[in-house]
């Protein structure tokens, strides 16, 4: 009985933490993609150099680019992924969030 109660507390704790963590991950990847896209396609810097500007938890995102599409994707492992695309005259725009 005590094991079931402990398991219930662990599940409740993970559920309580997971929701805010997921929101922070989506926000962090959106910020990272937008900043890195601007740095890369407006600033003309390398993606590795752009990553150096990211501090704190945003520094943990992985960045990748698609030069043909003029896009940068930021991701936190399996938690969240966001892409920003550069459009001449409009700058870097985030793609709609997939839920």
Residue 99: pLDDT above 60? Answer: no
The answer to the question of residue 39 being in a domain is: yes
- Those residues whose C-beta lies under 8 Å from the C-beta of residue 44, and which sit 6 or more positions away, are none
**Predicted TM-score of the model (pTM):** 0.78
The answer to the question of residue 99 being in a domain is: no
Paired residues of 63 in beta bridges: 74
* 1 vs 63, residue with greater confidence: 63
pLDDT band at 96 (very low <50, low <70, confident <90, very high): confident
Domain count, the chain: 1
| pLDDT at res. 20 | 80
Condensed to tens digits (0 to 9), the pLDDT of residues 27-71 reads 889 999 999 999 999 999 999 999 998 888 788 899 999 999 999
Q: Which two tokens stand for residue 75?
A: 């991701």
The residue range of the domain holding 49 is 2-94
């Amino acid at each position: 009985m005590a094991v079931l109660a402990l398991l219930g507390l662990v599940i409740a704790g993970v559920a309580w933490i997971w929701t805010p963590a997921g929101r922070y991950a989506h926000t962090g990847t959106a910020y990272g993609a937008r900043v890195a896209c601007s740095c890369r396609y407006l600033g003309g810097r390398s993606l590795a150099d752009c990553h150096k500007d990211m501090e704190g938890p945003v520094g943990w995102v992985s960045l990748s680019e698609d030069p043909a599409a003029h896009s940068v994707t930021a991701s936190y492992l399996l938690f969240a992924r966001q892409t920003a695309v550069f459009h001449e005259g409009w700058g870097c725009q985030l793609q709609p969030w997939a839920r």
